[in-house]
Amino acid sequence: MSAHTSTDTLASGTHAHPNPDAHGDGHDHGTRRTYLIGFALSVILTAIPFWLVMGDVIADTTIATLVIMGFGVVQIFVHMVYFLHMNTKSEGGWTMMAAIFTIIIIVIALSGSLWVMFHLNTNMMPGHIMNPADLI
Amino acid sequence: MSSHATTAEGEAPQFYELVPHHHAPHGSTQIGFWIYLMSDCLIFASLFAIYGVLGGNFAAGPSPEHLFNLQLVAVSTGALLLSSITYGFAMLDMDEGKKTGTLVWLVITGLLGAVFLGLTLYEFYHMIHEGAVPQRSAFLSAFFVLVGTHALHVTFGILWLVTLLVQIGAKGLIPANKIRVQCLSMFWHFLDVIWIGVFTVVYLMGMLR
């Protein structure tokens, strides 16, 4: 075991866990207080958009849509921080790396699909086909 | 050439390990599970993209304001949100080594998940009864695939939770069970994050459209 000890100390030198076997993962699990803060925030961030839609508070649907999407994005981040305990340090930063990579792919997939298909719909309107023979 | 360079000094540093590196039994489980969740996230991203593209194609069929009942969605959202914090309390009790507390909070979480699932299935039944079946329009196909995939995830989450209850009941809070509870915690909170996207994009924005 003494041969192991030196390499283990080198490998996990940055970890300041008093008892590494207690969790074995280097994750922060939060406290009752952080869970309650996260829950309170998510209740507020859910209640407001539901109220906005059910009570017809904002007349302009474009503004209402943007506001609701804004609340959704903020709530997703609240959940990632308070419930999934995401931070830049867990697993040596790889959790955050994987998440950032995923978010980039999601943004490309969503914005790309919507953008392309919106233009496809517009261009496929019958009025836009000047000479049907050109399509063949 | 390079081998010359390293041996020239006579005491070249060795960059390989003579003794095999020893990992903790569950050292890489969490990061592996996280990467699974991220790939699952991409499945949902593509389903959201499909819904975003096809969500307005009603084919002269029913549209969201005819079908959706926001009161029902608000109740199921509340159940899922509440289940997130009860799972958090289960995690806290597990960290303190309280077996009974962990089991009780996990049972409450599972019941709230079952309430959510029951409401979703009731909504599906109601819609199908009214003729709003997946093959009616592109909007309904996209809706059933997106919401159905989420409901399927919740179903498997509840199955996993029941399995864990049995395992903790039989073996107690052993390290292997703790890792399993932590992985299910990530899965459960992840489903909650996906549901935020669903109720925002499908239900709330659908009513505004």
Express each pLDDT in A90-120 by its tens digit: 888 899 999 999 999 999 999 999 999 888 8
- Residue found by looking up tokens 């695939």 in the block: B145
* Cα B85 to Cα B26: distance, rounded to the nearest angstrom: 25
* Cα A108 to Cα A104: distance, rounded to the nearest angstrom: 6
Identify the three-state secondary structure at position A67: helix
* Cα B148 to Cα B75: distance, rounded to the nearest angstrom: 18
- Residue found by looking up tokens 């959940």 in the block: A79
Nearest residue of A to residue B34, measured between CA atoms: A95
Q: Do A65 and B205 touch (CB under 8 A)?
A: yes
Q: What is the rounded end-to-end Cα distance, in angstroms, of chain B?
A: 69
Q: What is the rounded end-to-end Cα distance, in angstroms, of chain A?
A: 76
Q: List alpha helices for A12-93, DSSP H.
A: 20-23, 32-54, 61-82
Query: Is the Cβ of A98 closer than 8 Å to some Cβ of chain B?
Result: yes
Which pLDDT score, from 0 to 100, does residue A26 have?
45
Q: In this complex, which of B19, B78, B189 lies closest to A84 when CB atoms are compared?
A: B189
Query: Is the Cβ of A37 closer than 8 Å to some Cβ of chain B?
Result: no
Rounded percentage of chain A residues whose pLDDT exceeds 90: 47
Would you state the torsion angle of the CA atoms of residues A88, A92, A93, A95, taken in this order, to the nearest 10 degrees? -110
Nearest residue of B to residue A52, measured between CA atoms: B204
The CA–CA distances, whole Å, from A122 to A30, A116, A119, A126, A129 equal 50, 10, 5, 9, 11
- Residue found by looking up tokens 């709330």 in the block: B204
DSSP state of B13: P
Which pLDDT score, from 0 to 100, does residue A9 have?
40
**Nearest chain A CA: its distance from B88 CA (Å):** 7
The CA–CA distances, whole Å, from B206 to A57, B51, B187 equal 16, 11, 27
Identify the three-state secondary structure at position B144: helix
Nearest residue of A to residue B206, measured between CA atoms: A65
- Read off the pLDDT band of A132 (50, 70, 90): low
Q: Where are the domains of chain B?
A: 29-54+69-207
**Nearest chain B CA: its distance from A127 CA (Å):** 19
Helix (H) or strand (E) holding B198: helix B175-198
Which pLDDT score, from 0 to 100, does residue A3 have?
41
Domain B29-54+69-207 is classified in which CATH homologous superfamily?
A: Cytochrome c oxidase, subunit III, four-helix bundle (1.20.120.80)
In the predicted structure, residue A88 carries a pLDDT above the cut 90: no
Q: What share of chain B is helix, strand, coil (3-state, %, to 5)?
A: 75, 0, 25
Which pLDDT score, from 0 to 100, does residue B5 have?
47
Which pLDDT score, from 0 to 100, does residue A13 have?
39
- Read off the pLDDT band of A131 (50, 70, 90): low
- Residue found by looking up tokens 């989450």 in the block: B157
Residues of chain B with pLDDT under 50: 1-6
Note which residues in 5-34 of chain A have CB less than 8 A from chain B: 7-8, 11, 20-21, 24-25, 27, 29-32
Rg (CA), chain B: 24
- SS3 string, B50-91, reads HHHHHCCCCCCCCCHHHHCCHHHHHHHHHHHHHHHHHHHHHH
- Read off the pLDDT band of A87 (50, 70, 90): confident
* Cα B169 to Cα B181: distance, rounded to the nearest angstrom: 13
Express each pLDDT in B151-160 by its tens digit: 999 999 999 9
∠ CA A46-A48-A49, rounded to 5°: 75
In the predicted structure, residue A35 carries a pLDDT above the cut 50: yes
